[in-house]
């Protein structure tokens, strides 16, 4: 755990990285909400449009992001964890 993440934990929050920016959120926050808090979109559509969550319940897959290097994770179905590395909108990285 990074120093910053552990500090956040002490203060009752969870610190994670969204596109390299540290975001602090309350425990129980979804990655989808954290991405919005960070002011980012979740993905680019196949024709290049920015997209953000639509259904909020794991169906639409608009909220797919890379989490800890694994691409295409549903951000709305994943809770933030300390030190989590989230990356959005990028080229789909290989696993």
Binding site for another protein (CB under 8 A): 18-19, 21, 25-26, 28-30, 32-34, 36-41, 45-47, 49-62, 64, 67-74, 76-80, 88-89, 91-92, 94-95
Q: Nearest approach, Cβ of 87 to another protein (angstroms)?
A: 10
Number of C-beta neighbours around residue 94 at 10 A: 6
Q: Nearest approach, Cβ of 42 to another protein (angstroms)?
A: 8
Number of C-beta neighbours around residue 10 at 10 A: 7
Backbone angles phi, psi at 14, to 5 degrees: -120, 130
Vertex 66 angle, CA 64 and 72, to 5°: 40
Query: Quick one: 10 or 47, whose CB is closer to another protein?
Result: 47
């Amino acid at each position: 755990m990074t120093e910053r993440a552990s500090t956040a934990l002490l203060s009752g929050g969870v610190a994670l990285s969204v596109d390299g920016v540290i975001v602090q959120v309350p425990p129980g926050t979804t990655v989808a909400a954290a991405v919005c808090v960070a002011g980012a979109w979740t993905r680019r559509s196949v024709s290049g449009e920015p997209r953000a969550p639509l259904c909020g319940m794991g169906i639409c897959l608009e909220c797919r992001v890379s989490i800890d290097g694994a691409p295409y994770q549903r951000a709305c179905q994943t809770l933030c964890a300390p030190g989590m590395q989230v990356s959005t909108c990028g080229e789909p990285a290989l696993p």
